[in-house]
Amino acid sequence: MNINVNTHTQTLLLFGGIEFYARGGFNDFIGAYHTEQEALFAKNELEDRSGFPLFGDKLDWWHIFDIRTGRIVAGSREQAYGAADLDDAHQTN
């Protein structure tokens, strides 16, 4: 699956949650980014803040989805309850 997008479009979507229970679809959406590094920085910034209101202290699961390819490009090994865990090629923590 390849999607044509404008070069200015943020094509990497960060999803995540706590307690391994996904809220479902875009309810787990955190943000959109131009690069994988920007998305990882945003995830780390969220986790570095203690007690941030949306997620608590740490994301239990997360992944970065590339809308151009339709694939997860990075994420935690363990994913939300009921979802397949990521393989070693995509796992980053």
Domain that includes residue 58, residue range: 1-93
User: pLDDT band for position 78 (50/70/90)?
Assistant: confident
pTM above 0.75, yes or no: no
**Separation of alpha carbons 11 and 29, rounded Å:** 13
**DSSP 8-state secondary structure symbol assigned to residue 91:** B
Find where tokens 């923590």 sit: 93
What integer pLDDT is reported at residue 26 of this predicted model? 80
**77: phi > 0 → left, psi -120 to 50 → alpha, else beta; which?**
alpha
DSSP structural state of residue 88: T
Q: What is the pLDDT of residue 9?
A: 76
Question: What's the total number of domains in the chain?
Answer: 1
Q: Quick one: pLDDT at residue 6?
A: 56
Q: Which residue has the tokens 């590339």?
A: 66
Q: Which two tokens stand for residue 76?
A: 């935690």
